[in-house]
Every structure is written in C-alpha cells, then in structure tokens.
Amino acid sequence: MHDGRQDLAYWRDVAFIGLGVLSVVAGIGHVLDWHAAHQTKDIETAIGFLLLLPLLFALSPRRIELLLGILFAITLFGVVGTILKRSLAGLSLMIPCGILTYIILKWKGQDLARTKDPR
C-alpha cells in the first residue's frame, strides 16, 4: 500500500530540487545579463533568485539531496553549454561543482541509499 504522506514528501522534495535548480540557473543567467548590459534590473533579479536558496535549504528536510540536485544541474548545464557554445568559459564553475558532487556522493552516498530503501 502506498502511504499518502510518503507520496507528498516525495513530491515536496522534487519540487524543492526543481525550485533550487531554477533559482540557480535564473540567478546565474541574470548575473551574466547584468555583466553584459550593466542594468540594475538584472542584478536585482539575480539577487532575488539567489536569495531563494537559503529559504529552500531552511525548509527542506533533505538538504543533501537538494544540494546534490543543484550541483548536478550546474555541472550538466555547464557541459551542455560548453558543447553547444564551443567555449571553455564555464569550466571555472563546472569543474568545482562536479568535484563537489562526486565528494558528497562518496561521503553520503550510502546514507542516501539507505534512506530510500527501508530494509
């Protein structure tokens, strides 16, 4: 039998990870727009999106999974952007995020697997 609370908790975690990824991607995009045009609207929007992250971390019971989702998305979008734009400009952000994702998975990977399988 499926427990409704478990389903709700799962979708809450998925929504938090999605909002975290959206916040980081939109924040970085607006910072890059501000860097190109120097309009205050862009930097204010970027700060607003990036201020959503501490709120998500405060509300999320699974902070490690939220962090892993965000770091993995940054790494994935960096790889896709590097391939499509044929530019290595994103490596300074992409490589540390990838390394940090790997370290966290090595450190907490067994604990994350245990929380998914209640055996």
The predicted-structure confidence for 76-111, as pLDDT tens digits, reads as follows: 888 888 888 888 877 888 888 889 989 988 888 777
- On the question of pLDDT at 9 being above 80, the answer is yes
**Domain span including residue 23:** 4-116
Single out the residue of 46, 55, 51 nearest to residue 16, CA to CA. Answer: 55
Residue 62 has φ and ψ, to the nearest 5°, of -115, 75
- On the question of pLDDT at 67 being above 80, the answer is yes
Q: Which of 9-18, 41-50, 107-116 has the lowest mean pLDDT?
A: 107-116
What per-residue confidence (pLDDT) applies to 47? 93
Single out the residue of 96, 60, 94, 56 nearest to residue 77, CA to CA. Answer: 94
What per-residue confidence (pLDDT) applies to 1? 47
CA distances from 86 to 12, 39, 91 (A): 37, 27, 12
Alpha carbon distance 58, 2 (integer Å): 28
Cα Rg of the chain (Å, integer): 17
Instruction: Count up the domains in the chain and report the number.
Output: 1
